[in-house]
Amino acid sequence: MKKPLKIEDMSKQTGQLVEIETEDLMPLPTFDGQPIKKVQLKTTTEEQRKQYDCSLDGFSALAIPHPKTIQDEEEFLKRFLSGLGKLFSKEDNWTFLQPLVHSLDYCVKCQLCSDSCPAYIASGKQEIYRPTFRPELLRRLINKYLKKQNPLIAKLTRSETELNFRLVARLAELAYRCTLCRRCAQVCPIGVDNALISREIRKLLSQELGIAPREIHELGTVQQLRVGSSTGMTPKALENLISFFEEEIEERTGKKIKIPVDKEGADMLLLHNAGEFLSWPENIEAFAILLDAARIDWTLSTELVGYDAVNYGVWYDDIQLAKIAVRHAQVAKDLKVKKINVGECGHAHKAFIVVADRVLTGDLNIPRESALPLLEDLVCSDKIKTDPGKNSFPVTLHDPCNIVRLMGITEPQRRILRKICPQFREMEPHGVDNYCCGGGSGFAIMSSMNFQDWRVQVSGRMKLKQILEAFQDVPNPEIKKYVCAPCSNCKGQIRDLLNYYDIGEKYNIHYGGLAELIVNAMVDIEKPFIDWEWH
Amino acid sequence: MKILLVVATYAGYIFIVTMYTVKIVKYLKLPLHLRSEIYPVRSDQHEREAKSYLESLEWWTKPREGDFIGKTLYLIKEYFLLSDYFRWDKGYWLFLYPWHIGFILIITFHILSFLGAFAELLSFPVVANSPSMIGSTLYYLSLGIGVTSFVAGLFGSIGIMIKRLADEKLRDYATPLNYFTYFFLLAVFLTGLYSWYFADPSFHEYRAFWKGLITFKPIDVQMAASVHILLFALLLIYLPFTRSLHYVTRFFGFFLIRWDDKPNLRGSKLEKEIEGFLERKVTWRAPHVRHGKSWRQNAVETFHQDQKGIRL
């Protein structure tokens, strides 16, 4: 059962602050008359709790070790306060200072944003996940430790929160209970962005204390900059994979296609999320088939970082964000391409086309665009001949937050689906009002300790509900169903959602990208391109 | 007393204008930031189509629509209707709306009182049956707006306070200062209403006070009106210490942050500005950051060092 909780409990209360129980979570709809199975949330082991702080809600995204000595704790808090100060520096944080100040100074705590947060709602309205909870805590710390409010004012503004290791560790974990989908910001009448505050907390932790989830930092941005891709894939491995893709394309479609690699002066450099190369090669192959059929002058790169569109920096660290964006642009510049096109990867869209737009200058400022308008042009201008009869199965569309709410690209993908999928149905709500898949801001690749349970049962719960509702009229397992998710991380999260609850294979619900659906509908390809194998 | 009222009123106006100006300038001088717009970036939020220029193939070759007027009208409409609150939480809107409207109207009432006083100084009598249309218009507008502001503000102040106390999600985040603000505004509206009903039903005395302010010849007013005038002056001094500036910063927050989708085109003024920001020094201390080097050096020069495992 939920216990009442106050912000001050974050520093005062010892032990685990909140217990997340399956019974408290938002109920899921039945499907085909059957309830969706209930899975007990995994807890961390005694050993893990001894080593790391899991005292927020029993989950851990960061694995912050307990300080060994009082000196360690003091140093930790000193660094935290130093980082907190830097968030307000025009040198250190010009990148997001104005949005941060606006959100901290003008929130009137009307709580209008609460019901827009899928994690808060799905958790059964756990107070700690309320979008205003962590900003309010941060605000109180700022009042007391940065602005050094006098005791009377501090009392009047309730800014008497005591700073200790427990508090910072919990706040750090809490910054990783928000998917940065920014649905809360969208409904705020004053323009306050509480998700941005989550990201600013992440940034402080990463850029000052070197604390970030291992999957995002060490195995993510650092690995990408060192070996070329966050997947660990080297240029050599990529070259082998490309040959394999060419063979597979020929096998599946009879088409002999040479995938252009490192072609200097090509019109377009295509950047894929490297996760596609390893987990969903059919997406890479579908793009190659489409671009070849439309006779587009394009290329892939095998240069370090140039073959992996991901930029995890966008979730937690401005320096890492800038490093990777610059590297991507450098690769394009060296290839002398006219433009860069970002494939089906939501966060790479936002990172490279929108956020890093104010990082790239001079000859690195190469035009960048989304793959979705390009695909729309191919399909809707009949440059690719399609037969909607080939896609005669129920299809729904998952909108990646980064592409819709944070970039405003909502219609190209819909115009394609309306043209090639006669049984296309929307999720509700959709478009700019969509719900996050629950894997946003890096969660889809984070599974350390028991974190996967949280992201599947809590942050992804609303998306699962939407998927089930979208197919309520076709529950029959004989009917193949397709969740189109034009984003690599969203696909990973949807895969995990369907697997976790054993409903993908059981009800014949599949997921995949947009390009695959287009190729599946192509007139001049005889065999179905989608293989309907559950993997 | 009359000197106190004059001094307090002048001090109140000078203080609020100065403080708001300082705060606004400070806000506007915050540096350019990375883009973090939220869609729909448009004037009418209730049609949920996005209409981002990024939906176009090779968007940089096509003209973009600014729609400054549409967006401004949208924000102005929101000021007067608070329709986002109505859409998401009708119970909250029921009290918030009259509270806000009371506040907007009391400011309007003061402007009208100033104009009324000015008109009378120019020999346009501000009375119901004034021979001048200006006079009678100002009379009825002042009366209507003044009384409406007091009634709406009073209802809203009481309602919003009860709502804050009764609703757990609002109560847990409220501070003693919030309640002080509600009480303060309640007192201002209540004394205004009392003064009008029992002492100055045509606001004639109020205009006379304003005439005294303009001509530097202070006059005595009845106790009820004096209390209201003093409280209002104190409110002007108090407001800059609250979040009240969101009336203004909301406008900036939408235009400069939420709707700021201006692209950085090659060779543009914006690009030049960004180049300046990239030269700023970074003092973050995590191992992967080059402390003391510029953003540009961090983003560009570290790559080969990262490659060699020197700095990860």
pLDDT in tens, A184-204: 999 999 999 999 999 999 999
B289/A319 touch (CB, cutoff 8 Å), yes or no = yes
Checking if the pLDDT of A436 tops 70, the result is: yes
For residues A512-529, average pLDDT = 97
CB–CB of B34 and A358 under 8 A?
Answer: yes
Higher pLDDT, B98 or A157: B98
The predicted pLDDT at position B310 comes to 44
Over residues B163-182, mean pLDDT: 94
Q: What is the pLDDT of chain A when averaged over all its residues?
A: 96
Q: Are A470 and A426 in contact (CB under 8 A)?
A: yes
Cβ atoms of residues A44 and A449 within 8 Å: yes
The pLDDT value recorded for residue B311 is: 42
Check if A209 contacts B (Cβ < 8 Å). yes
User: What pLDDT shows up at residue B68?
Assistant: 87
ipTM given for this complex: 0.95
Which chain B residues contact residue A332 at CB under 8 A? none
pLDDT at B302: 62
Residues of B in contact with A196 (CB under 8 A): 36
Mean pLDDT of B189-199: 96
Chain A interface includes B60 (CB < 8 A): yes
Contact of A221 with A310, CB cutoff 8 Å: no
pLDDT tens, position by position, A261-300: 999 999 999 999 999 999 999 999 999 999 999 999 999 9
Distance separating alpha carbons of residues B213 and B234, to the nearest angstrom: 17
pLDDT recorded at residue B239: 96
| Residues of chain B contacting A130 with CB distance shorter than 8 Å | 169
- Alpha helix (H) residue ranges in chain B: 2-28, 68-81, 83-88, 90-121, 133-166, 168-171, 176-194, 204-215, 223-238, 246-252, 269-278, 295-296, 302-307
- The pLDDT, as a whole number, for residue A503 is 95
Enumerate residues 6+ apart whose C-beta is below 8 A from A183: A113, A116, A117, A118, A401, A405, A433, A435, A436
- Is the CB of B56 inside 8 Å of chain A's CB atoms? yes
- Give the pLDDT score at A525: 95
Strand partners, B294: B281
State residue A361's pLDDT score: 97
Q: Is B158 on the interface with A (CB under 8 A)?
A: no
**Cα distance between residue A225 and residue A244, in whole Å:** 25
> In the predicted model, what is the mean pLDDT of residues B60-80?
88
How confident is the model at residue A535, as a pLDDT? 67
Please indicate if any CB of chain A lies within 8 Å of the CB of B64. no
B65 — pLDDT class (breaks 50, 70, 90): confident
A226-240, B109-123, B179-193, B293-307: segment of lowest average pLDDT: B293-307
Angstrom distance (rounded) from CA A210 to CA A178: 20
Q: Say if CB A61 and CB A448 are below 8 A apart.
A: yes
Q: What is the DSSP letter of A270?
A: E
Chain A residues with CB inside 8 Å of B28's CB?
A: none
Q: What is the pLDDT of residues B227-253, one digit of tens each?
A: 999 999 999 999 999 999 998 999 999
Q: How far apart are CA A462 and CA A470, in angstroms?
A: 12
Q: What is the mean pLDDT of chain B?
A: 91
**Residue A35 burial (10 A CB sphere; 0-12, 13-18, 19+):** exposed
| Predicted pLDDT of residue B44 | 47
Nearest to B298 among A130, A226, A323 (CB): A323
The answer to whether the CB of A512 falls within 8 A of the CB of A484 is yes
Q: Which two three-digit tokens encode residue B90?
A: 């009708």
Q: Is the pLDDT of residue A86 over 50?
A: yes
Residues comprising chain A, all counted? 535
Report cis status (omega within 30 of 0) of the bond before A429.
yes
User: Residue A363, class by beta-carbon neighbours within 10 Å (0-12 exposed, 13-18 middle, 19+ buried)?
Assistant: exposed
pTM of the model: 0.95
A448 in contact with B at a CB cutoff of 8 Å? Answer: no
Give me the residue from B39, B176, B281 closest to A408, CB to CB.
Answer: B39
Contact residues on chain A for B240, CB-CB shorter than 8 A: none
- Rounded Cα distance between A419 and A301, Å, is 32
Interface contact flag, A102 B54, Cβ < 8 Å: no
